[in-house]
Structure 1
């Protein structure tokens, strides 16, 4: 079993928003990946973006510039 670690998890209203996030992050070489929404969160389309918590401020700026929408953003042990 994988050891749980603190991750920044971003949830989305729609699958299209989740895919747009993945596209931007791959293009910009931003660490992270799409994952199913963790059990402790019940939100959105079922997909979320997981990344290191240290990227929170950078992501807020990037998402604003790129016009990326999201539902929730928080740090969770996953």
Structure 2
């Protein structure tokens, strides 16, 4: 040990173990946060609607969907 921990060897090893686990959890949290920011940004900035023939094509982020125009019953404005 470097002399920074004066509480006993077992307690210092336990503190080192906790600090390693918190660092791993922080890295996992950062990865999840970056993925969520990417997904929300992709949905927010890449939402597209396009009408081709008799089909409404919707694209929002990585998700794509096609709807037959004849199936649309009503349109709501919020």
Indicate whether the TM-score tops 0.5.
no
Computing the radius of gyration over CA atoms, which structure comes out larger, 1 or 2? 2
TM range (shorter): under 0.3
* Structure with greater proportional helix content: 2
